[in-house]
């Protein structure tokens, strides 16, 4: 779907839906670049790469997990989540494990939420989250639902919804660096600087957006700060607002606090599902993804059919709503995957000695053929289609090129790209050759050629 609401493609599951699973048929989608999406689900539970332009699909039948999947193109491996039921203190408890898999599904590395004393029944949610596994009710202790893997530092972040906590893991040493949240080892500071039990409740989609700054979708479900009824049964009792949330941490003094947030109207409260992404222009887009929402008089587990489905909201840094997309009842969205139109250049940064062309091309033009525009040294706007590629003729080392694309739906790439430091030192293009006077000296004829270089 384009940001103007135009539907570009729909993939419909052909297999049977398993009503016992948390998802119908498709796990969250990730964009891998080169027009390719990765998803898990129909057919079967395997992982697939789907090229949106060629419609070709590559299948990995033994690569599967739940809730999240990351592909590392450098290693050709996959990081995902798997769960299993364990006996802990005589109770059946569902616990999660992070696994790294090769393309054939072989396990290469693991990190366990229970081993090494990470989490146990003492950490159970106040509202006693449970789930069904093979027809048996079990304690859903961790409910891990998102992963992030920094390929450069080999650091992994895993979020556990039921614990209101996410952890930082050094994959190289297999050590847990810290955990942050209701069951973490940070001091959590509220708006007044005083310690609070948690900064979010049952969140999704935790990401490090810059060093020591994390974004997440805060569902605000099972918010235990409601002292009169921390596990409410009706919509009225919740007083809940799902939010876009940014958390800043200080690893030196082990403190964390809310640095930015935007709360949705009560009608968009999503006790489950949701995501948050930052767009190239700095705006945030969130999926308030529950396939039905709640109205006064509805129970937590019984939303009313005349409510709406999922709602997508784009908000700028000032908290102003830029646009919304509201789906009808029954349409749920687990995660939004922004695919930004991008224009790239082939300039290598070297100083050229002759006038030259910089070629501009587009990536991710899934909305249809794109038009490319540019300005050289703040000059008039030119189009590649009518004026050709940018042609650099200005001498010096600090020419600039502003360039951007607009797709066939009229969606413009924002912000524009700015290329600076373009260098051209053409030593021959302005030189003048002068033939001097011919003289005869001792019967030898000499012809002098004088090169005069223009002063700059």
Q: Show pLDDT as tens, one digit a residue, over the chain (456 residues).
A: 777 777 777 777 765 444 434 444 567 789 999 889 999 887 667 899 999 889 999 999 999 999 999 999 999 999 999 999 999 999 999 999 999 999 999 999 999 999 877 898 888 887 878 899 989 999 999 999 999 999 999 999 999 999 999 999 999 999 999 999 999 999 999 988 999 999 999 999 999 999 999 999 999 998 888 756 778 888 878 888 999 999 999 999 999 999 999 999 998 999 989 999 999 889 999 999 998 887 777 777 777 777 889 999 999 989 999 999 999 998 889 999 988 889 999 999 999 999 999 999 998 888 777 899 999 999 999 999 999 999 999 999 999 999 999 988 788 898 999 999 999 997 655 443 333 333 323 333 233 222 233 334
Residues 142 and 279 in one domain: yes
Domain assignment of residue 357, yes or no: yes
Residues 276 and 367 in one domain: no
- Compute the distance between CA of residue 18 and CA of residue 3 in angstroms, rounded to an integer: 32
Output phi, psi for 99, to 5 deg: -130, 140
Residues 315 and 389 in one domain: no
Question: Which pLDDT score is estimated for 449?
Answer: 27
Domain assignment of residue 189, yes or no: yes
Q: Domain end: 270, 292, 326, which one?
A: 326
Residues 350 and 217 in one domain: no
Domain assignment of residue 415, yes or no: yes
Domain assignment of residue 142, yes or no: yes
Domain assignment of residue 447, yes or no: no
Residue of 322, 149, 192, 179 lying closest to 244 (CA atoms): 322
DSSP code for 333: -
Instruction: Retrieve residue 437's tokens.
Output: 């006077």
- Please give the model's pTM, rounded to 2 decimal places: 0.85
Residues 117 and 204 in one domain: yes
Q: What is the domain extent for residue 296?
A: 30-326
Question: What are the helix (H) ranges across 208-350?
Answer: 235-238
Per the structure, the count of domains in the chain is 2
Q: Examine residue 43 and say whether the peptide bond preceding it is cis (omega within 30 degrees of 0).
A: yes
């Amino acid at each position: 779907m384009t940001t103007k609401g135009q539907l570009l493609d729909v993939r419909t599951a052909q297999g049977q839906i398993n009503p016992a699973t948390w998802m119908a048929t498709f796990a969250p989608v990730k964009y891998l670049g080169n027009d390719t999406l990765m998803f898990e689900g129909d057919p079967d539970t395997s992982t697939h790469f789907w090229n949106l332009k060629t419609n070709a699909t590559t299948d990995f039948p033994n690569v599967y997990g739940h809730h999240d999947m990351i592909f590392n193109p450098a290693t050709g491996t996959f990081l995902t989540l798997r769960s299993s039921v364990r006996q802990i203190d005589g109770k059946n408890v569902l616990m999660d494990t992070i696994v790294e898999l090769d393309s054939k599904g072989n396990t290469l590395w693991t990190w366990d939420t229970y081993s090494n004393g990470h989490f146990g029944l003492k950490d159970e949610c106040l509202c006693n989250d449970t789930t069904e596994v093979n027809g048996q009710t079990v304690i859903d202790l961790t409910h891990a639902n998102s992963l992030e893997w920094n390929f450069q530092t080999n650091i992994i972040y895993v979020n556990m919804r039921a614990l209101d906590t996410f952890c930082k893991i050094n994959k190289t040493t297999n050590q847990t660096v810290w955990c942050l949240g209701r069951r973490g080892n940070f001091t959590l500071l509220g708006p007044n600087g005083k310690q609070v039990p948690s900064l979010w409740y049952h969140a999704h989609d935790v990401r490090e957006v810059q060093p020591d700054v994390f974004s997440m979708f805060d569902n605000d479900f099972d918010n235990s700060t409601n002292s009169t009824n921390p596990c409410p049964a009706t919509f009225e009792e919740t007083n809940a607002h799902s939010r876009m949330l940014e958390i800043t941490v200080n690893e030196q003094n082990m403190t964390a606090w809310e640095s930015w947030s935007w709360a949705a109207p009560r009608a968009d409260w999503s006790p489950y599902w949701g995501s948050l992404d930052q767009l190239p222009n700095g705006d945030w887009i969130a999926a308030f993804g529950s396939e039905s929402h709640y109205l006064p008089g509805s129970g937590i587990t019984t939303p009313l059919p005349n409510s709406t489905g999922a709602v997508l909201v784009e908000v700028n840094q000032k908290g102003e709503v830029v646009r919304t997309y509201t789906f009808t009842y029954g349409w749920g969205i687990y995660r939004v995957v922004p695919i930004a139109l991008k224009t790239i250049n082939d300039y290598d940064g070297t100083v050229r000695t002759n006038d030259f062309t910089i070629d501009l091309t587009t990536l991710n033009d899934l909305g249809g053929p794109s038009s490319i525009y540019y300005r050289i040294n703040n000059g008039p706007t030119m189009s590649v289609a009518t004026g050709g590629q940018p042609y650099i003729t200005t001498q010096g080392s600090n020419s600039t090129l502003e360039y951007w694309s607009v797709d066939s739906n009229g969606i413009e790439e924002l912000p524009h790209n700015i290329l600076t430091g373009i260098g051209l030192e053409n030593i021959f293009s302005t030189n003048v050759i002068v033939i001097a006077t011919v003289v005869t000296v001792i019967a030898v004829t000499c012809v002098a050629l004088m090169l005069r270089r223009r002063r700059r």
